[in-house]
Copies of this chain bind each other. A is one copy, B any other.
Amino acid sequence: MHSTIREIRKTPEGIIRAQRAFEEFIANHDFRLPREIVYTGCGSSHFLAKPLAMATTRLGGRGFSAPCSELLYSREWYPIGNPELLVAISRSGETTEAVKALEALDVPRFALTAYESALSRKADYALIVPAHEESVVMTHSFPAFYFAYLQLLLSSFGKETHNAELVSSLTGEVLESEDYIRELVEGFDFRNVIFLGSGILYPVALEAMLKMKEMALFWSEAYPTFEVRHGFKSIADEGTLVVLLVDEPFNWHEKLTREFQGQKARVLTVGRRDTGADYFMEVPEVDKLVSPALYLPVVQLLAYYKAVSRGLNPDNPRFLSKVVKW
Contact = CB atoms under 8 A, between A and B. Distances in A.
A231 B210 contact: yes
A182 to B, nearest CB: 22
A79 B67 contact: no
B70 A224 contact: yes
Interface stretch (A109-117, A119-127, A313-321): A313-321
Question: Which interface residue of A58, A67, A225, A226 has the most chain B CB atoms within 10 A?
Answer: A226
A218 B234 CA distance: 9
A319 B236 contact: yes
Interface string A32-72: 00000000001111100000011001100011100101100
Q: State the 10 A-B residue pairs at the shortest beta-carbon distance, nearest first.
A: A43-B230, A74-B199, A69-B226, A54-B77, A77-B199, A42-B230, A43-B231, A214-B231, A74-B198, A62-B79
Number of copies: 2
A5 to B, nearest CB: 18
A192 interface: yes
A160 interface: no
B76 A64 contact: no
A306 to B, nearest CB: 13
B67 A224 contact: yes
A78 interface: yes
Interface string A226-240: 110111111110000
A7 interface: no
Contact of A231 (B44, B57, B202, B326): B44
A137 interface: yes
With most chain B CB atoms within 10 A of its CB, the pick from A58, A213, A217 is A213
Q: Which of A46, A192, A198, A319 gathers the greatest number of chain B CB atoms within 10 Å?
A: A319
Contact of A57 (B73, B76, B137, B234): B76
A97 interface: yes
Contacts of A214: 231, 234
A286 interface: no
Contacts of A320: 231, 233-234
Scoring A77, A78, A255 by chain B CB atoms within 10 A of each residue's CB, the highest score goes to A77
A200 B261 CA distance: 36
5 contacts: A210-B232, A213-B231, A231-B320, A233-B319, A234-B320
Contacts of A73: 198-199, 226
A188 interface: no
A293 to B, nearest CB: 16
B43 A232 contact: yes
Contact of A58 (B58, B76, B225): B76
A219 interface: yes
